[in-house]
Amino acid sequence: MSRIGTKPVEVPSGVAVTTEGSTVIVKGPKGTLRVAIPKGITFEKQDGRLTLRREDDEHAALHGLARSLLANAVQGVAKGFARHLDIVGIGYRAELKGRIVQFSLGYSHPIDFPIPEGISIAVEKQTHLVVSGADKQQVGEVAAHLRALRPPDPYKNKGVRYTGERLKKKVGKAVAAAAGATK
């Protein structure tokens, strides 16, 4: 039996959950999200909780998945999700211009990144970004695209990285050659 799938999803006050065929619509203060529930999975509303059930063991893999997607939608419309990014490097910075974030990341030209619908990006101190929104998957995807603009360099540790991301710094060529010569 799925341990994740059998856990009930707590629905906070201010969040409405309705169904439309095999789609669950979750409305809250942060927006509206639609979650597709796979065939063979049903859910019941009781006392401010959602409980998911599966028809048989063939749907075991989808049981936990459907519960996680539904729980993320409920949490997203109630509180929202956020990813923090840091820009490290001399002259590297970001600037918010309406619905576009302009990056200076050491290239010969600035990079303009349009902010998708449902996502908000806050630029703090030109080197710290906060990507937030109601959809967890979309927030993570936008953060990954921003990080991919200039991934962290393992030699100089420059680039765009997640806050708290641990990088393993590599030794440069000159240091490695000097270490090899002393052996």
- CATH classification at residue 149: 3.90.930.12
The answer as to whether 129 is a domain residue is yes
Q: Are residues 130 and 157 both part of a single domain?
A: yes
pLDDT digits (tens, 9 = 90+) for 106-128: 889 999 999 999 899 999 888 89
The region of weakest confidence among 1-5, 59-63, 90-94, 113-117 is 1-5
Phi, psi of 94 (to 5 degrees): -130, 150
Q: Are residues 95 and 123 both part of a single domain?
A: yes
State the pLDDT confidence band at 164, using cuts at 50, 70 and 90.
confident
Please give the Cα distance from 166 to 53 (Å, whole number): 40
What pLDDT score does 140 carry? 93
- Statement: residue 91 has pLDDT above 80: yes
The answer as to whether 113 is a domain residue is yes
Radius of gyration of the chain (CA): 22
Better pLDDT: 4 or 122: 122
- Final residue belonging to a domain, choices 62, 78, 94: 78
Q: Are residues 15 and 46 both part of a single domain?
A: yes
The answer as to whether 173 is a domain residue is no
Number of domains in the chain: 2
Average pLDDT over residues 14-24: 85
The answer as to whether 179 is a domain residue is no
- Final residue belonging to a domain, choices 78, 95, 130: 78
What pLDDT score does 180 carry? 64
Question: Domain of 152?
Answer: 81-162
The answer as to whether 47 is a domain residue is yes
Angle, helices 60-78/136-148, rounded to nearest 10 degrees: 80
| pTM of this structure | 0.82
Q: Are residues 122 and 61 both part of a single domain?
A: no
What pLDDT score does 136 carry? 92
| Cβ contacts of 22 within 8 Å, gap of 6 or more | 36, 37, 38, 39
What pLDDT score does 179 carry? 65
Average pLDDT over residues 27-56: 86
Average pLDDT over residues 87-92: 89
The mean predicted confidence, pLDDT, of the chain is 86
- Statement: residue 178 has pLDDT above 80: no
